[in-house]
Amino acid sequence: MRLAVKSGGKSAFNEWSMIFQKLMPDLNVVDWEEATRHPHSINFVLAWEPEGDILSRMSQLKGIISTGAGVDHIIQDPLCPRNVPIYRMGSEEISAQMADYVLWAVLCCVRRTWQWHGAQTAHNWLPPAPNRLAKDTTVGVMGLGHLGRSVADRLCTAGFPVKGWARSPYDLPGIKTYGGLEGFPTFLENLDVLICLLPSTLETVGILNTETFSALPEGASIINVGRGSHLVERDLLDALDDGRIAGAVLDVFAHEPLCTTSPLWSHPQIIITPHAAAEATRPSKAARTVEIIKAIMRGEEGPLRYHPDKGY
């Protein structure tokens, strides 16, 4: 079996080769130049932004694995083959990192960290304010997939009452779950912190908007770690300015890197991180790739396959 890797350029290829050699010695790993020269010899691709015309010439291709959580960079190319399964990157390592990040972000919201940051910048010693406890802070996780469940679980363990929302309800210990559009209003009721971990689809684009913010209790906070397309930025700025929303922690943006002139940067109640919540290391990406290759060779579906009908 031959795997073509397009990730990190020439300098990273030696590292990829060594990692795969240890994990699956009989896998023949080649770089993108070699794949471009001999596309018919390639069975699997692990890549970021692979050119569709090259993929379409890979007549023996059995699977395309994205090095990231999204697959837009693959499917947006009209020449990308439609009959080959595509996989999103994921691993326990990414879920654990995401759970760590969201726990930190939720605590920032609970303690209104943006106020301390503003006071520190102004050398201003704020008078003490009442501290809220985790057990009195209800958090809601939109999206109960590979990452959402790990986040919900971590928050539950940290003592937060947790609600979850997906296309249909789940049976998760200690977590109240709601499904579909009909369950959305009840899910939003009484949330102190709303966390978005949805994929970007036609149904979810712009879901963090005025209507959603208005259904939350006054003074709730927003954490967006899904995709920038989920958030209507103008609606958030308005909700912050009229006091309906207390603050936001944003890791993902419609255009990345976030433009230096964006008003989000300087808003006193917004904390910005540069799409840094969770990123797998090369060894863990390689391990997941081998897992997918072996599953496909056994005739199984394999983890985190992209379903074009669902859009994620």
- Residues of the shown chain interacting with ligand NDP in the complex, contacts defined by CB under 6 A: 69-70, 90, 94, 143-148, 165-168, 197-201, 203-204, 225-227, 251-252, 275, 277-278, 312
Task: Judge whether 140 and 222 are in contact, CB under 8 Å.
Answer: no
Q: From CA 87, how far away is CA 69, in angstroms rounded?
A: 9
Q: Which of 38, 117, 244, 275 is catalytic?
A: 275
Q: DSSP character for 49?
A: S
Q: Which of 227, 230, 267, 288 is catalytic?
A: 227
Residue 227 designated active-site: yes
Calculate Rg over the CA atoms of the chain. Answer: 21
Q: From CA 50, how far away is CA 102, in angstroms rounded?
A: 31
Residue number, 32 or 306, with CB nearest to ligand NDP = 306
E strand spans, the chain:
2-6, 28-31, 44-47, 63-66, 86-87, 139-142, 162-166, 175-179, 193-196, 220-224, 245-250, 270-272
Q: How is residue 243 written in tokens? A: 């006091």
Residue number, 42 or 154, with CB nearest to ligand NDP = 154
Residue number, 277 or 296, with CB nearest to ligand NDP = 277
Q: How is residue 40 written in tokens? A: 């018919």
Q: How is residue 183 written in tokens? A: 């369950």
Phi and psi, residue 160, nearest 5°: -85, 140
Residue 275 designated active-site: yes
Closest distance between ligand NDP and the C-beta of residue 183, in Å? 9
Residue number, 103 or 166, with CB nearest to ligand NDP = 166
Residue number, 42 or 103, with CB nearest to ligand NDP = 103
Closest distance between ligand NDP and the C-beta of residue 50, in Å? 18
Q: What is the Cβ-side half-sphere exposure of residue 278, based on CA atoms within 13 angstroms?
A: 32
Closest distance between ligand NDP and the C-beta of residue 86, in Å? 13
> Looking at beta carbons, which residue is closest to ligand NDP?
145
Closest distance between ligand NDP and the C-beta of residue 273, in Å? 8
Closest distance between ligand NDP and the C-beta of residue 148, in Å? 5
Task: Judge whether 169 and 187 are in contact, CB under 8 Å.
Answer: no
Nearest to 2 by CA among 53, 11, 17: 17
Catalytic residues: 227, 275
